[in-house]
A = this chain, B = another copy of it.
Amino acid sequence: MSRFQPVALHHASRLINHGPTVLVTSAAGGRRNLMAAAWSMPVEFSPPRIAVVIDKHTFTHELVLASGHFGICIPGVALADLVYAVGSCSGRDGDKFQRHGLQPLAGPVLGLPLIEDGCSAWLECRRIAEPHTEQAYDTCFAEVVAAAADPHIFADGRWRVADDNRPLHSLHHLGAGLFVQGGDPVQAGRA
């Protein structure tokens, strides 16, 4: 039973607006995979479009090309060890979901494997074919076709980051397994 609630598509880009490290999921031809990606960003709110760097030599890239789809899951700090582990090995060497005891659910539109436990949100994305940027910069563009979030930390199109949802705070990778936690809200006024 999912605790997540659907996110309106025009709010979907906000889910990665703050630059969190994410998990990228993929599946094609009975195989599936999971990798960590520190490098992603929205490129547009409406339609909701994003860019993510997926090395063209990875198993994930192979599955994304085959299916035309990928999922983005946003891990909370409680998943730091998992994020680092799945970012440090290849899915060609064995199913990472099974190795880490993960039981993904199937996304509502594209059927992608998605993780909710320990995550704040997920997005199902349809690849926009841009062979040049994929080859030259490993940069894949995609349109978000479904999104959902844990209403404890994202509801009505807004993040609510507070002490009572600390395990869901975002991870931001500095390098070599060291992250900073996206906590401590700062509300700007006008300078």
Q: A35-76 CB contact bits vs B (8 Å, 1 = yes)?
A: 000111111100001010100000000000000000000000
- Establish whether residues B186 and A180, one from each chain, have CB atoms under 8 Å apart when the complex forms: yes
Q: Copies per complex?
A: 2
Tell me which of A108-116, A144-152, A164-172 binds B: A164-172
Q: Which bucket holds chain A's interface residue count? A: 35 or more
Interface CB pairs A-B, < 8 A, 29: A14-B175, A17-B173, A18-B19, A18-B173, A19-B19, A19-B172, A20-B172, A39-B41, A39-B43, A43-B137, A44-B137, A49-B137, A80-B187, A81-B189, A84-B188, A85-B190, A139-B139, A159-B175, A159-B178, A159-B180, A170-B172, A171-B186, A172-B172, A177-B188, A178-B186, A178-B187, A178-B188, A179-B187, A181-B184
